[in-house]
Amino acid sequence: MYTKIMVPVDLTHIERLKKALTTATDLAKHYGIPILFVGVTAEPPTELGHTPEEYAERLEEWSARQAEQHGLTIENAAYSSHDPTIDLNDTLIAAAAENGADLIVMASHIPGLPEHFFASHAGAAASHAKISVFVVR
């Protein structure tokens, strides 16, 4: 049914992704397909890397640990952005298309007042992606 699952990850908040990661790994095992972890980092230095290349190395190391832990084929792709808060949604949707993903599994957050005025990233992906999006709360 699906051929590749894309999971957006924020390495600074991995603990908040547990349900989405479990869902994605269960689906990948069920369908016998790979997972693609996608991370988006800012171009200026962050706590996860002084450069986008250093961030990409951390994403690759984390992805390799996940592949070993779950016994799955796991790919990763790191993207850099001048301002991820502005273009994260477009970057994620483009990453899915660029990497051949046909399902996005992504974590949501507990909705609050801001979501009445601004769409969440998961909501934006579900509204604009041309593929299926599974939002895990």
Across the 137 residues of the chain, what is the mean pLDDT of every consecutive 10-residue run? 95 92 98 97 79 95 98 97 85 95 85 44 62 87
What per-residue confidence (pLDDT) applies to 86?
A: 83
Predicted model pTM: 0.87
**What type of residue is 27?**
L
What per-residue confidence (pLDDT) applies to 47?
A: 73
- Structural domain count, the chain: 1
Q: Residue 99 CA to chain centroid, in angstroms? A: 12
Q: Are 87 and 81 in contact (CB under 8 A)?
A: yes
* Residue range(s) defining the domain that contains residue 130: 5-136
CATH number at residue 82: 3.40.50.620
What per-residue confidence (pLDDT) applies to 49?
A: 81
Query: What's the token pair of residue 25?
Result: 């790994």
What per-residue confidence (pLDDT) applies to 124?
A: 60
What per-residue confidence (pLDDT) applies to 18?
A: 95
